[in-house]
Structure 1
Amino acid sequence: MKVALHGLALKSEYFQHIQILFEELIKFKFEIFATKQFDRQLRMNGNKSLQYLTIGGKSDMASMDFMISIGGDGTLLDAVCQIGSLEIPILGLNTGRMGFLATVATKDISLAISQLANGNFQIESRSLISLQSHKRLFNGVNFALNEFTIHKRDTSSMITVHTYIDGKYLNSYWADGLIVSTPTGSTGYSLSCGGPLISPEAKSFVITPVSPHNLNVRPIIISDDSEISLEIEGRAEKFLISLDSRSTSISSEIKLSVKKEKFEAKLVKLPHYHFFDTLRQKLNWGFDMRN
């Protein structure tokens, strides 16, 4: 089997874990490839012993059986962009902090690779959000796993986002911005702005205002079969939009809409993992914090 390794920032203290990862992959006869970004990180850390091939283009990527994302959730989000419509299953090795998506701890590398090699896992499908516009944005990589966001560009006054669901007027949000989140993204930016937590299997989007002017405006959950159209007004000429961690500025003349992408992200789910377990662990649910 062929496995692609992807990472954006490899700290020297984690190099020993990468060596263990290579040893386990070799033991189970995986063919090891690295993305250009991860190859650069390995060379920056002075690698002379680890042997692998570098992925050159789309055809190389299409031949992969798995991708292992090495880093935090941001690295896994970037891995989703690397894969796109190929839907290659991704296993997240967590060398970051929170790890809602990258769930394999470094101490469990050997066990995780053994389970991967022996087929002892499930594939979890996660819906993506797609941005539509009459202007080409984000170099054509117009999808995200977590969320699409509109935000005021600087310290200027708040913006107004006129929002329509399947052509029907919903609301005009006077706010610093607006988030349209997938269930996967409900544990991210949307959560910090008061949005609800949603199980990954739910077929829904969440529209969450960022610092709304009217306190009676609350997040709303809608079907992910809906198309959300957005028109922006404000005193500034430019506004920021983002897809996960990628952002660009646009003018108010550009009309935007978001809907569910035709393809999905495939995440490797190892045994004894459950979304609720991650919530309890990361958010300290069930612990008496009064002591």
Structure 2
Amino acid sequence: MKIALYGQKFGKKNIPYLNQFIGYASNNSIDIYIEKSFLNILNSFEELKNLNFPVFSHHKELTKDFSLMFTFGGDGTILSAITLIRDSGIPIVGVNTGNLGFLATFNKDVFVKKIDQIFNKKLLLMQRSLLCVETSIKKNNKKFFNFALNEIVILRKETVSMITIDAYIDNEFLTSYWADGLIISTPTGSTGYSLSCGGPIISPDNKNFVLTPISPHNLFSRPLIISDQQNVHLKIHSRVKYYSLSMDTRLISMNQENELYIKKAPFYIYLLQEGGNTYYKTLREKLLWGIDQRN
């Protein structure tokens, strides 16, 4: 078996869990490949400086013969890992060494206890849809990974004035949003930025997207849920030349003449999840539902 390891930072308190993981892999003839920058971080610790594993640094090196990718961090680490996973179909095991952990659902203790079940893939494999964005002007744009698991966000840039976003659904004019920006979110991302802007929570098995305006000036401008089979076309108008386009953790500057075309991506991301750790249980625990704050 061949597996990949990825992370963006690492705390010393997590070293015992990593050592147990590496020991298990070694005893079971599992080949470990570590993302190059993450290996440099691990080697900065005295206890881990002698780690000697093959590395990868590009998505083309993650071939389909990899059985799993393990991410050490939080949800942001998984979002970053997707730029390497892409359409390879390699399932992700998110080990939560971060904070909230909506996607990275294995806490460190559970991860160690369930390691046999993880490697034997006896846990739940969750399929998550993504968004894809195309631009109307391509020749001057740098090539970028144009997919997002959580959300695509259009934001005003270098101005305190609102921007205007003309939105079309399947070529039919919907409305003009006068706002600081607009969020187009997947069900996975509905508990993120969209939620903080008043958007609904959508369970991941729904085949929907949600359009959530950011600080809209029109009081009747509210989040809208649409089918993920529909295409969204956006035209942006601003007092300055550029606006910002965010795709999960990645932010780029776009000329306002550049229109956006957003649709469902032609592939899915797969997350391995503990059987008893359901989506609704995660909501209760992470959002403190049912907790009496008076106590």
Q: TM-score range by the shorter chain?
A: over 0.9
Structure 1 residue 58 displacement after superposition: 4.5
Q: Secondary structure at the match of 1:120?
A: coil
CA distances 1:123-158 after superposition (whole Å, capped 9, x unpaired): 111000000113455633100100000001134201
What residue number does 2:285 align with? 281
Question: How far, CA to CA, are the matches of 1:70 and 1:167 in structure 2?
Answer: 42
SS of the residue aligned with 2:285?
helix
What amino acid does structure 1 have at the position aligned with 2:62?
M
Partner of 1:197: 201
1:105 match: 107
Residues 66, 264 of structure 1: alpha-carbon distance in 2 compared, 3 angstrom cutoff: same
Indicate the residue corresponding to 2:77 in structure 1: 75
Give distance in 2, aligned partners of 1:58 and 1:81: 7
What residue is the counterpart of 2:34 in the other structure? 34
Evaluate the alpha carbon distance shift between residue 221 and residue 56 of structure 1 in structure 2; reply closer, same or farther with a 3 A threshold.
Answer: closer
Q: 1:237 to 1:202 in 2, by over 3 A?
A: same
Aligned-partner Cα distance in 2 for 1:58–1:152: 31
- What displacement does 1:118 show? 2.7
Superimposed CA distance per residue, residues 255-279 of structure 1 (whole angstroms, 9 cap, x where no aligned partner): 1110000011011122212000000
- Indicate the residue corresponding to 1:17 in structure 2: 17
Structure 2, unaligned stretches of length 5 or more? none
Query: Which blocks of at least 5 consecutive residues in structure 1 are unaligned?
Result: none
Compare 49-58 and 64-73 and name the one that shifted more: 49-58
User: 2:51 maps to which residue?
Assistant: 50
- What TM-score, normalized by structure 2, do the two folds share? 0.94
The residue aligned with 1:174 is: 178
What TM-score comes out, normalization by structure 1 length?
A: 0.95
Aligned mates of 2:174, 2:287 — CA distance in 1: 32
Q: What is the percentage of aligned positions where both structures have the same residue?
A: 41
Contact preservation (8 Å) 2:59, 2:86: no
1:160-204 Cα deviation digits (max 9, x unpaired): 100000000111000000000000000100000000000001000
Contact 2:59 2:83 in 1 (8 A): no
Where do residues 236-247 of structure 1 align in structure 2 (5 Å cutoff)? 236-247=240-251
Shift of 1:57: 4.6
Task: Please give the per-residue CA displacement for 1:41-96, whole angstroms capped at 9, x wherever unaligned.
Answer: 11222423434221255554113110001101000011111110111100000011
Output the aligned Cα RMSD.
Answer: 1.5
Range with bigger deviation, 198-207 or 108-117: 108-117
Report the secondary structure of 2:90's partner residue. Answer: coil
Q: Which of 150, 153, 163 is the aligned partner of 2:154?
A: 150
